[in-house]
Amino acid sequence: MAKTFTFAFILSLFIFSCTQKPTELEVNHYLSEETAQLNLPFSEAVRVGDMLYLSGQVGNKPGTLDLVEGGIEAEAKQVMENIKTVLEANGSSFDHAVKFTVFIDDIAQWSNFNKVYVEYFPNKKPARSALGADGLALGAAVEVECIAYIPSKK
C-alpha cells in the first residue's frame, strides 16, 4: 500500500511539472549612453535572470576608443575599472563576480597583469581562465570578460 501511494505521489508530481508553463528568463541588454554613441556592434553586458555576462573589456578611456597610455599595467587597471562600472550599473560588483576570462597579447606580461588584478580581489577570487592572443581589439595589450551574479534587492 505504501509503495503504491509513493508511486502515485511521484507520478502526480511528474505530471504536474510537465503540464506547467515553463518560466521564461528575462533577457536585458545593457549599453551605457557614452558607449552607445560609439555605435559598436555589441552590448556591454547581457543580463539573463540573475546572471550578468559582460563583453570583453579593453583599457579604453570611457566613451572613447582610445586606450590609456602606460603599458599593460595601466591598461589592466582601466580594464578593471571599466568592468567595475558595468557591474555596478547593473546592480552587481566584484564581490559577485564568478568567472573571468583574460586574453593577453603577450603571455610574458602575465605577472604584470596579475599585479593589478589581485588588487581588486584581496580575499575571495573568482574562477579565471587566461589565453595568449595574437592581436586584440584596438591593439590592446589585454582584454577581459566577466560573468557575475546579480543579488536580489532586499
The fold adopted by the segment(s) 26-149 is: 60s Ribosomal Protein L30; Chain: A; (3.30.1330)
Task: Please give the radius of gyration of the chain, using alpha carbons only, rounded to the nearest integer.
Answer: 21
pTM higher than 0.85: no
pLDDT at 13: 46
Given this model, what pLDDT does residue 32 score? 83
Number of neighbours of residue 3 by Cβ within 10 angstroms: 7
How far is CA 85 from each of CA 64, 76, 89, 90, 99, rounded to the nearest angstrom? 15, 14, 6, 9, 17
Q: Distance between CA 61 and CA 66 in Å, rounded?
A: 6
Q: Over its length of 154 residues, how does the chain's per-residue pLDDT go in tens digits?
A: 555 555 555 545 455 555 545 556 678 888 788 888 888 888 899 999 999 999 999 999 998 999 999 999 999 999 999 999 999 999 999 999 999 999 999 999 999 999 999 999 999 999 999 999 999 999 999 999 999 999 987 6
Could you tell me whether strands 27-30 and 45-48 are parallel, antiparallel, or unpaired per DSSP bridges? antiparallel
What's the pLDDT at 25? 64
* Domain range list for the chain: 26-149
pLDDT for residue 105: 97
How is residue 24 annotated by DSSP?
A: P
pLDDT attached to residue 35: 82
